[in-house]
């Protein structure tokens, strides 16, 4: 792969090539990507979607929206630092093509901002609820009407693939979704493959999938424009990652490792003194002990350690990226950057504490159970209304349901798969609060 292609400014529907040296510096194309994501309704909905604690009533726990904003800030720093060194190594990118250090930062920041935009309500439990509705629930009735790849899209419903769908989906009057640059779309796709085969290797790009069958054509167009390396030659497409996707992933890893841990401390789920020691272990080589001990409150100490930890991990992520740049460009680097971190043991310790004390806490599990049941019920309600079995075609309840969801439009020409994808994507777009309200409404509890 080469950086000239990877930094493509092309957008869906472009007839002419966009050249970096002809860009308006006051509103660069990659920065327009960030703006378009910020102003999208899908991004705004993240303010009421779970990051750590579903339906939390506290004001300091992160939502998907605050998490995404923080990941984008970290991603911008990662991109700029890496971009500075890449331009030094490949000076023609600047002298001939006009690329600047901030271009890399803008691409990574925009992709990082959107990285959770396709996630359903109630976190990863929401993904499982959608998937198991089609594998174990009433949705299994559609299996014989779908290809193996289409069915796999549903039973392993993936927020990453749904995010790409949201960003690129053509709807009446809206061609190509929000029309991001292909460079940003490439950096967004952490798992540049379709749903089958399922985890064919242990390579990081095969850990999940990032493309539904419904977006396969636009994905292949993006991959071709960017010059991504095709890594399988069968009918199930898969490509090597866009190099900047490694930095987007690193930004997310940094934030959920450090900031979810901080949320757990603030919620009282992790003992403060115990937790601070774990953060100190991560920054022991750079901590100013006299400054640290001069801080009198736990909140100030935590803030200092968080900032230092994030800076430490940013610095190392960029170093790892640059050391492995050649292998990444060849499509031969198959791990997350932090899998090679010198702080791997400290990171694993922090994540282990978070899993045990936050993600598996009684409060989280209880709300995920409720969310799971609500999403399953809503999927059943929507599929019965939009794709009714013969006996229920004239059901008045189904007709009332259809009137209550005007945004969910299934057309006569839509295949069963296309209809189900619309239902799943709509359900995934609901916020935690709207999921609860919709569940109560259809069960008659709102009167």
CATH number of the domain bearing residue 101? 1.10.3210.10
**Structure-token pair, residue 96:** 């001939």
Q: Of 108-122, 127-141, 218-232, 250-264, which gets the smallest average pLDDT? A: 250-264
Widest distance between CA atoms in the chain: 75
For residue 340, is it within any domain? yes
> Quick one: average pLDDT of 122-135?
92
Number of domains in the chain: 2
For residue 331, is it within any domain? yes
Cis peptide before 59 (omega within 30 of 0): no
Residue 55 binned pLDDT confidence (cut-offs 50, 70, 90): low
Share of the chain above pLDDT 70, in %: 98
CB burial of 156-168 (b: ≥16 within 10 Å; e: otherwise) equals bbbbbbbbbbbbb
For residue 193, is it within any domain? no
Residue 229 CA, distance from chain mean position: 22
**CA nearest neighbour of 420 among 375, 388, 383, 390:** 383
Query: In this structure, are 248 and 333 located in the same domain?
Result: yes
**Structure-token pair, residue 383:** 């599929």
Residue 267 CA, distance from chain mean position: 25
pLDDT at 394: 82
**Residue 2, SS3 per DSSP:** coil
**Structure-token pair, residue 264:** 């757990």
Query: In this structure, are 104 and 133 located in the same domain?
Result: no
Q: Is 287 exposed, middle or buried (0-12, 13-18, 19+ CB in 10 A)?
A: middle
pTM of the model: 0.94
CA dihedral 218, 223, 226, 231 (to 10 degrees): 180
Asked whether the beta carbons of 161 and 431 are under 8 A apart, the reply is no
Query: In this structure, are 379 and 393 located in the same domain?
Result: yes
**Residue 194, SS3 per DSSP:** strand
171 strand-pairing partners? 174
Query: In this structure, are 115 and 248 located in the same domain?
Result: yes
CB atoms within 10 A of CB 28: 18
Distances in Å between the Cα of 64 and the Cα atoms of 55, 112, 120, 248, 380 are: 12, 12, 10, 16, 26
Calpha distance 65→205 (Å, rounded): 25
> Which residue has tokens 């399953």?
376
Query: In this structure, are 22 and 87 located in the same domain?
Result: yes
**Structure-token pair, residue 290:** 């006299």
For residue 203, is it within any domain? no
Looking from the CA of 75 toward its CB, the CA atoms found within 13 Å total 32
> Quick one: average pLDDT of 271-284?
85
Query: In this structure, are 349 and 418 located in the same domain?
Result: no
> Which residue has tokens 């009433």?
138
What CATH number does the domain containing 127 carry?
Answer: 1.10.3550.10
pLDDT at 393: 81
Query: In this structure, are 111 and 133 located in the same domain?
Result: no
Residue 392 CA, distance from chain mean position: 37
pLDDT at 59: 56
Long-range contacts of 346-349 (CB under 8 A, 24+ apart): 346/278, 346/281, 346/282, 347/257, 347/282, 349/278, 349/281
**Structural domain range at position 46:** 3-119+243-359
pLDDT in tens, 243-275: 999 999 999 999 989 988 888 887 788 887 888
Query: In this structure, are 251 and 348 located in the same domain?
Result: yes
Q: What are the phi and psi torsion angles at 238 (to 5°)? A: -155, 140
pLDDT in tens, 76-95: 999 999 999 999 999 999 99
Calpha distance 79→67 (Å, rounded): 18
For residue 171, is it within any domain? no
> Quick one: average pLDDT of 269-289?
86
Residue 412 binned pLDDT confidence (cut-offs 50, 70, 90): confident
**CA nearest neighbour of 338 among 262, 253, 243:** 253
Query: In this structure, are 106 and 136 located in the same domain?
Result: no
Residue 347 binned pLDDT confidence (cut-offs 50, 70, 90): very high
pLDDT at 321: 98
**Structure-token pair, residue 146:** 């779908």
pLDDT at 216: 95
pLDDT at 165: 97
For residue 238, is it within any domain? no
pLDDT at 53: 61
Query: In this structure, are 18 and 78 located in the same domain?
Result: yes
Query: In this structure, are 378 and 355 located in the same domain?
Result: no
Asked whether the beta carbons of 102 and 108 are under 8 A apart, the reply is no
Calpha distance 29→103 (Å, rounded): 9
Averaged pLDDT of the chain? 91
pLDDT in tens, 357-396: 887 888 788 888 888 999 999 999 999 999 988 877 889 9
Domain boundary among 359, 377, 395: 359
Residue 294 binned pLDDT confidence (cut-offs 50, 70, 90): very high
Q: Is the pLDDT of residue 441 over 70?
A: yes
pLDDT at 329: 98
pLDDT at 29: 83
pLDDT at 60: 59
**CA nearest neighbour of 81 among 252, 318, 324:** 318
> Which residue has tokens 């969910």?
408
For residue 225, is it within any domain? no
For residue 182, is it within any domain? no
Query: In this structure, are 370 and 270 located in the same domain?
Result: no
Domain boundary among 359, 389, 421: 359
pLDDT at 26: 78
Domain boundary among 338, 359, 380: 359
Q: Is the pLDDT of residue 316 over 90?
A: yes
> Going by C-beta distance under 8 Å and a sequence separation of 6 or more, which residues neighbour residue 25?
none
Calpha distance 320→308 (Å, rounded): 18
Share of the chain above pLDDT 90, in %: 69
pLDDT at 56: 58
Asked whether the beta carbons of 14 and 183 are under 8 A apart, the reply is no
> Quick one: average pLDDT of 140-159?
97
């Amino acid at each position: 792969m080469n950086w000239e292609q990877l930094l493509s400014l092309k957008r869906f529907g472009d007839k002419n090539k966009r050249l970096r040296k002809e860009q308006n510096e006051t509103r660069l194309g990659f920065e327009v990507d960030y703006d378009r994501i910020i102003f999208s309704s899908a991004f705004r909905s993240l303010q009421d979607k779970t990051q750590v604690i579903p339906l939390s009533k506290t004001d300091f726990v992160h939502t998907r929206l605050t998490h995404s904003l923080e990941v984008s800030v970290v991603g911008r720093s990662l991109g700029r630092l890496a971009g500075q060194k890449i331009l030094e190594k490949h000076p023609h990118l600047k002298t001939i093509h006009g690329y600047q250090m901030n271009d890399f930062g803008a691409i990574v920041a925009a992709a990082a901002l959107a990285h959770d935009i396709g996630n359903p309500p109630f976190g990863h439990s929401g993904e499982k609820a959608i998937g198991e509705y089609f594998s174990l629930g009433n949705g299994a009735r559609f299996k014989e009407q779908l290809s193996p790849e289409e069915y796999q899209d549903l039973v392993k419903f993936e927020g990453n693939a749904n995010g790409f769908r949201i960003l690129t989906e053509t709807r009446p009057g809206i061609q190509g979704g929000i029309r991001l640059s292909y460079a940003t779309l490439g950096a967004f796709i952490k798992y540049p493959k379709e749903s089958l085969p399922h985890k064919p290797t242990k390579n990081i790009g095969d850990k999940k999938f990032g493309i539904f069958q419904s977006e396969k054509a636009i994905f292949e167009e993006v991959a071709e424009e960017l010059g991504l390396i095709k890594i399988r030659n069968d009918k199930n497409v898969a490509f090597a990652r866009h190099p900047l996707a490694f930095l987007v992933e690193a930004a997310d890893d940094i934030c959920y490792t450090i900031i979810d841990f901080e949320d757990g401390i603030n919620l009282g789920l992790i003992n403060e003194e115990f937790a601070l020691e774990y953060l100190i272990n991560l920054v022991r080589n750079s901590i100013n002990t006299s400054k640290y001990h001069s801080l009198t409150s736990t909140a100030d100490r935590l803030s200092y350690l968080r900032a230092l930890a994030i800076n430490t991990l940013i610095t190392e992520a960029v170093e790892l990226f640059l050391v492995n740049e050649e292998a990444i460009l060849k499509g031969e680097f198959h791990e997350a950057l932090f899998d090679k971190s010198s702080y791997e043991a400290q990171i694993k310790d922090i994540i282990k504490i978070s899993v045990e004390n936050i993600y598996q806490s009684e409060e989280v599990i209880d709300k995920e159970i409720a969310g799971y049941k609500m999403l399953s019920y809503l999927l059943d309600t929507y599929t019965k209304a939009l794709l009714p079995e013969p006996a229920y075609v004239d059901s008045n309840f189904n007709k009332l349901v259809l009137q209550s969801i005007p945004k969910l439009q299934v057309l006569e020409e839509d295949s069963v798969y296309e209809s189900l994808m619309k239902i799943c994507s709509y359900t995934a777009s609901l916020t935690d609060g709207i999921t609860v309200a919709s569940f109560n409404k259809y069960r008659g509890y709102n009167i």
